[in-house]
Amino acid sequence: MTNDPKSAKASVAAEEFVPAPPPHRVGALARQGVLWTFALIVVRHGIHLASTAVLARLLTPADYGLLAMTATLTALFQVFSDMGLTWATVQRRELTVGQISSLFWINAAVGLGLWLLCIASGPLLAWFYAEPRLSSIAALSGASFLLGGIGAQPAALLRRDLNFRAIALAEASRTLVQAVVAVLLAMAGWRYWSLVVAGLLAEVVRVSVLFRASGFRPRRPALADDTVSLITFGGWMTATGLTSYASQTFDKVLVGKFWGADQLGYYSRAWFLMQLPAALASSAIAEVMTPALCAVQADRDRLGAAYRKGLQANCLVGAPVAGGLVAAGGEFVRLVYGPRWSPVTPILRWLAVASLFSHLYSSVGWLFLSVGKVRERFCFFLAKTLFTLGACWSVAKHGPVALAAVMATVTILITPPALWLAHRSARLPVGPTWRAVRRPMLATLAMLTTVLAVGSTAAHTGVEWLWVLGFKALVGILVYGLLTRRQIGIILGASQVGSVVKNLIRIA
């Protein structure tokens, strides 16, 4: 034991330091993370689809429309909910307990402030849509911001450690609670309130599980050393999130303003189904890829190889699902929602085209964030948002289908320059990336063409729609599987498939 004050000070600093995962373990942790996240997504969206099928028969399009109208406000505030500080925690390799505690109190204070803003903004939202019920919905929904702020840093610590098992269990618990409570309350006649109350109770469960898993306990409110640089990083992330909110929400605002709650209900349900490909692929891969790439950011060769492998896996899984929604959107809508929701179909098909290309576009965020180029990321997203807003406004009065078509067109046009700029910022060549995704994208196009031709022939023979859906699914799986069997085998491997099944059983 030493009496040297400098040694004692260094010892204290070392005790407060929060270690990052060692580089040699990042690959194994990332693979496990993908499996756990994929298992979660399968379970979560299975529950979502089942509960949605029930709720669509208990609730009306107007009920969903009211929630979608409220979401135009809450989604805006959601941009500021964590102030980008969770990603600051993930990206920073050197971090102390004091800094994390400081960020926790900032997140909690911001969450409380956003709840109060929801209460104050509710009357304005009700005036804008000429719907008085929105005021009380916004006031109660806003409580989720306080809960989210409290759980932000525990979730960030788990993500930084690549502990996706704990994150998966927290999210699965929230999904199950939300589905059960929503169905029970809808059966009891609570209508749109069933969705609001179920969401809040589920968030309470999620935050409780996150705290238990992370072991994080905040210290007394204080501003630790070098916290300002983390806040600056978070500021750029928040600014980027604000531009993303505008580009992803403006179309819904226009539908609700010009076409009313019923049409917005159809549009929001199309968005839900469109997000399935992203949920099946992008959410699983992106959830793991960004922290993993942050951990190897100093090694550009390793960074590029990991990025391309993650992007290829992303496209291999997500692109064919998006193509399947284009080819079998009508039958799938009828299966999930029932025949009265047929106006969803043309909207879904255009949004699915956007989803097909978004698997490439969304990956640019991995590169920008992993190398800390948050300012460049903001500038590009700002330009893309201004382009999207102008395009949506120009067709708003032509209806929801026209808006969906514009969203697809913008996504297709913006993807090549986005990939080029992100690779330039990360100092990586873009050629190998195009070669990595060429096979799954071309295979998806071939599958889509075949399924449309075969499905059209089957429909003209008078076959029942459910048989047509099954036939389209079978043909699509066979065509795509034959064209990409080698890539799928390399990415997954028999042992990893077994691990996925085992994880699914554990979560269920």
pLDDT, position 446: 92
Question: What does each C-alpha distance from 156 to 88, 91, 152, 153 come to in angstroms?
Answer: 9, 10, 6, 5
* Averaged pLDDT for residues 458-486: 83
* Averaged pLDDT for residues 173-201: 90
Query: Which segment, 57-61, 215-219, 305-309, 405-409, is predicted with the most confidence on average?
Result: 405-409
Alpha-carbon gap, residue 357 to 438, rounded angstroms? 12
Coil/strand/helix, residue 18: strand
Burial of 168 (0-12, 13-18, 19+ CB in 10 A): buried
Tell me if 181 sits within 8 A of 197, measured CB to CB.
yes
What number of other Cβ atoms are within 10 A of residue 12's Cβ?
A: 10
Percent of the chain with pLDDT over 90: 14
- The model's pTM is 0.66
Element (H, E) at 96: strand 95-96
The CB-side HSE value for 181 (13 A sphere, CA atoms) comes to 20
Nearest to 399, CA basis, from 251, 230, 241, 274: 251
Tell me if 79 sits within 8 A of 199, measured CB to CB.
no
Tell me if 263 sits within 8 A of 400, measured CB to CB.
yes
Alpha-carbon gap, residue 487 to 485, rounded angstroms? 6
Q: Does the pLDDT of residue 450 top 70, yes or no? A: yes
pLDDT, position 506: 46
Poorest-confidence range of 67-81, 213-227, 281-295, 490-504?
490-504
Burial of 208 (0-12, 13-18, 19+ CB in 10 A): middle
Coil/strand/helix, residue 17: strand
The CB-side HSE value for 417 (13 A sphere, CA atoms) comes to 10
* Averaged pLDDT for residues 425-452: 90
Question: What does each C-alpha distance from 197 to 51, 99, 117, 302 come to in angstroms?
Answer: 15, 34, 19, 46
Rg (CA), the chain: 23
Query: Whole-number mean pLDDT of the chain?
Result: 80
